[in-house]
Structure 1
Amino acid sequence: MNQPERELLTGPGPLLLVPDAVLLPEGPVDGLAVVIDDGRFEAVGPADELERTHPRSRAVRLPGRLLMPGFVDAHHHLTQSFGAALAFGEPSEIFRRVWVPLEGALDEESAYTAAKLAALEALRGGFTTVADAGTRAGVDVDVVASAARDAGIRCVLGLVCNDADGADGADGTDGGDGGATEAGPAVLRNAEKHLARYAGDPLVHASLAISIPEAATERTLRATARLAAESGAVVQIHVNEHLAGVERSLLRHGLRPLEHLHRIGALGPQLLAAHAALLTPHELTLLADTGTAVSYNPVASAWKGNAVAPATAMAERGIRFGLGTDGTRGDGFRLAEAAEFAQRLAYGLSTGDSSCGAGWTWLETATRGGADAVGLGARTGIIAPGLAADFLLVDIGTPELSLSWDLPWELVRRGNRDQITAVFVAGRLRVWHGRPADWDGAALVRRAAELARATVRKADITRVHRTSTAARALHQSREPAGERRAAR
């Protein structure tokens, strides 16, 4: 696609797109077109029919392109992007040593820049929606909202509602920082204001967040569940992620974290349980019975986790779940591949399950499953009339995809962000061949590099391991000279 075609995609008025195929819930369908107007899909149907019934729409033919829903990142930490590889190779419980100090060192400019940088990476990877689990930076959360809007991504924006004095800080998960932020009543007043603040916002959707169950009082856990349910929002809580957190809950309550949330009445369709990697059969039943949603974060499990969530079992039980990056890397295709790959290694090999849900399961959970999990199932996630025009144009004429026998499987196992021609959010072109369509991405990256260096120097970050380069040098210095020569 050349520059004139890009200009056709960004012009005014209704837009009629005629790709080679459209990815619907039942699979890719040839011969379809879509009409986009006022940020939404106005019509989806046979191309010749829509061309006849919408003569005033600007028609753009897209040979060699698949039009598919944008990916939904069901779990992210937008203001942690400056950390990047600081967490690589570290033991699983890194929150207090890396993320809390890093976010604590952010000011308004650096928090905005970090969040916009993360949003750009997500857009480049085909994500049209991200769920931010709440920043611990000492700035107004609207800084993160502004970054998401300016980048052009849809954002489910969490407000941290921790208020427990008893969190002992030994956790270190992607959760509590070991203390209360405010007293309970103040937290709930702020939660109500946050939920009202973004009502009607076209791109930002309010959410509440509690780091881990022990980071909030039982009163606040119940109250945030009620507030979210009443407002149609979600509460994001890191649940059953690490062994240490499960064991502390057993010692404190005699129950595992998910069981504790059930006992106090906090489970339900309004809860988005992040990770849920350590689940018993009983806890799977609780999720299924209560309609609680899960963010399955397979890359996070590989990089810093204790276990892989039993996602194929969740799918079989009808448990609602989406896929999340946890801020690891912003490539929707690689996330879907990791979701399938992790299930194959953790469960499929030992049981002889060579399919592990097949390609369609992971495409579905990466798109409409994620939209449902983050509370936006009625707004985005599929290509259908009335829903937001959040979608991708994918080049299926590449060596990886052109000889297609089973496109959903091939998208999962052979797709990557290099094949994404264009990313649209709310009907607007946001990214074109990996670059922002209407703002300077290179300038943002340069400024982020400057601010990241200053922020990391200021933050009291503690790492167990050296960088890989330093570790290699130390390893070589310990080898006998003869062995070094033999290795060369």
Structure 2
Amino acid sequence: MTPLRTSEPGALARSDGSPLLLVPDTVLLPDGPADGHAVVVDGTVFTAVGPAARLSRDFPHLEPERLPGTVLMPGFVDAHHHLTQSFGAALAFGEPSEIFRRVWAPLEGALDEESAYVAAKLASLEALRGGFTTVAEAGTRAPVDVEAVASAARDAGLRCVLGQICNDSDRGRDPGGTGSAQEISALAEKHLARYETDPLVHPSLAVSLPEAATERTLKATSRLAAEAGTVLQIHVNEHLAAVERSLLQHGLRPLEHLHRLGVLGPQLLAAHATLVTPGELTLLRDTGTAVSYNPVASAWKGNAVAPALAMAEQGIRFGLGSDGTRGDAFRLLDAAETAQRLTYGLAGGDSSCGGGWTWLDHGTRLGADAVGLGGMTGGHGVRTGVVAAGAAADFLLVDLTGPEMCPSHDLPWELVRRGNRDQITAVFTAGCLRLWHGWPPHWDGRSLVARAAELAREVVRRAPVVRAHRTSTAAAR
């Protein structure tokens, strides 16, 4: 077979929204890889998915776009991101836990409108290059209108579940506080209404930590999110220090405290949940609460690894999140499986640790469910993370002709353990080509990277960041 290696995207880059009949070698469907299948993309959605011969008969007016040596698969969902932290990603290397106090909050506090926009667009570009078509943005502490972040994601072509921080307590010592309980309620309702009909930006509410909001606001934001069919994002049970503070303040662990307030439920997206007891796992399961499992964050600066295999076994809803560490979906899949194998699998003799499909599912369709975009009720009717008729046309074209996939015996496992972002030929969101061989065809990605480098130096210079360690170069010297 001759791989799809043209320098120009041709008809794939159509700007008039005309329908496409795409015929790859393989389509990755919810129940596995299907050879000889095709899809029809009309506007922003898949209108038909099925055997290529049947679709050619059903749509005789469409010229098939043949994609040899390619798998068409759902775009990945990053269930936990911080788009405005991209200027300081390397500042977190080698640092101990709870770096949000010493690194992230000071860094975001030094952003202005332009630098917040550029930082978020830089992170959006990296996410798209890594195969993510959707991210859940957990809320910025930057002192700017959140529209700067929304515009960056929208302009890059990234689908974004956009959190609005709703902190109103200083007990969490988090600089992301945004006002009194009454002001927070008004801000939350305005945010939900503002993006209600946006095609790419889906509103969400966020609280940095349970201790960063009063009980009144925790209850109110949970209720508002449930009524709006969206998610409330909260960092929960991530670090030992936060668990201990909650025990001293409430006599309950953070998840137990949220349960007492009635905040657990399908509307809650609990970020991290690395330090959970068997009883808390039961709470997550029984309430339908979703979790973002962030294995790279655990490896880089965490106190523990979330028991994702146990969550999967109990039917607890969860997606995979990068936490802004690196926007590479294939490496995230590998990290998700590897963290479970090293932490739990080796001790029990589990050589499979969920198998390839577990991590593909939680990185795509089940991740979409966790962030509120998995069905026709939440996310204002948007469904992503799956190649199916009626779902959003958020997908990847991945080259299967390289040595990583040849010979191929088990595509799901190969994507998890051997896939890499260099194999991504094209990235589509909402039916529109956003990247071709790693770069946007409709705007200047390289100029953005150059401007980001300039602004990042200025922002880091003026931000009161405190690191526990010197850079690796300085330490080596």
Deviations 1:220-255 (A, max 9, x none): 101001000000010000000000000010111110
For 2:246, which of 246, 249, 252 is the aligned residue?
249
Q: How many residues align?
A: 465
Is 2:408 the partner of 1:404? yes
Evaluate the alpha carbon distance shift between residue 451 and residue 5 of structure 1 in structure 2; reply closer, same or farther with a 3 A threshold.
closer
What is the CA–CA distance in structure 1 between the aligned matches of 2:19 and 2:451, rounded to whole Å?
37
1:83 aligns to what SS in structure 2?
helix
Deviations 1:387-426 (A, max 9, x none): 1000000001110112111110010000010000000000
1:150 aligns to what SS in structure 2?
helix
For 2:460, which of 456, 461, 464 is the aligned residue?
456
| Match in the other structure for 2:292 | 295
Is 2:111 the partner of 1:100? no
What is the CA–CA distance in structure 2 between the aligned matches of 1:207 and 1:252, rounded to whole Å?
27
What is the CA–CA distance in structure 1 between the aligned matches of 2:294 and 2:319, rounded to whole Å?
9
| Match in the other structure for 1:198 | 195
| Match in the other structure for 1:351 | 348
Question: What is the Cα deviation at residue 8 of structure 1?
Answer: 1.5
Pairing of 1:234-245 with structure 2 (within 5 A): 234-245=231-242
What is the CA–CA distance in structure 2 between the aligned matches of 1:97 and 1:58, rounded to whole Å?
56
Deviations 1:3-59 (A, max 9, x none): 486112122411000001000111101010000001100000110110111012232
| Match in the other structure for 1:54 | 59
For 2:444, which of 433, 440, 443 is the aligned residue?
440
Deviations 1:156-178 (A, max 9, x none): 000000001333x3xxxxxx33x
For 2:182, which of 177, 180, 185 is the aligned residue?
185
Deviations 1:427-470 (A, max 9, x none): 00000111112110100000000000000001001111000000
| Match in the other structure for 2:33 | 28
One-letter amino acid of the counterpart of residue 45, structure 1: G
One-letter amino acid of the counterpart of residue 259, structure 1: E
Contact 1:228 1:235 (C-alpha < 8 Å) held by counterparts? yes
Pairing of 1:379-390 with structure 2 (within 5 A): 379-390=383-394
Evaluate the alpha carbon distance shift between residue 9 and residue 184 of structure 1 in structure 2; reply closer, same or farther with a 3 A threshold.
same
What is the CA–CA distance in structure 1 between the aligned matches of 2:199 and 2:407, rounded to whole Å?
39
RMSD: 1.0
What is the CA–CA distance in structure 2 between the aligned matches of 1:392 and 1:180, rounded to whole Å?
38
Pairing of 1:69-468 with structure 2 (within 5 A): 69-167=74-172, 169=173, 176-177=174-175, 180-378=177-375, 379-468=383-472
Question: What is the Cα deviation at residue 375 of structure 1?
Answer: 0.2
Q: Percent identity?
A: 74
1:272 aligns to what SS in structure 2?
strand
| Match in the other structure for 1:477 | none
Question: What is the Cα deviation at residue 369 of structure 1?
Answer: 1.0
What is the CA–CA distance in structure 1 between the aligned matches of 2:385 and 2:89, rounded to whole Å?
28
Evaluate the alpha carbon distance shift between residue 140 and residue 180 of structure 1 in structure 2; reply closer, same or farther with a 3 A threshold.
closer
One-letter amino acid of the counterpart of residue 461, structure 1: V
Question: What is the Cα deviation at residue 96 of structure 1?
Answer: 1.1
Higher gyration radius (CA): 1
Evaluate the alpha carbon distance shift between residue 3 and residue 354 of structure 1 in structure 2; reply closer, same or farther with a 3 A threshold.
closer
| Match in the other structure for 1:482 | none
What is the CA–CA distance in structure 1 between the aligned matches of 2:6 and 2:37, rounded to whole Å?
24
What is the CA–CA distance in structure 2 between the aligned matches of 1:73 and 1:436, rounded to whole Å?
20
What is the CA–CA distance in structure 2 between the aligned matches of 1:252 and 1:50, rounded to whole Å?
61
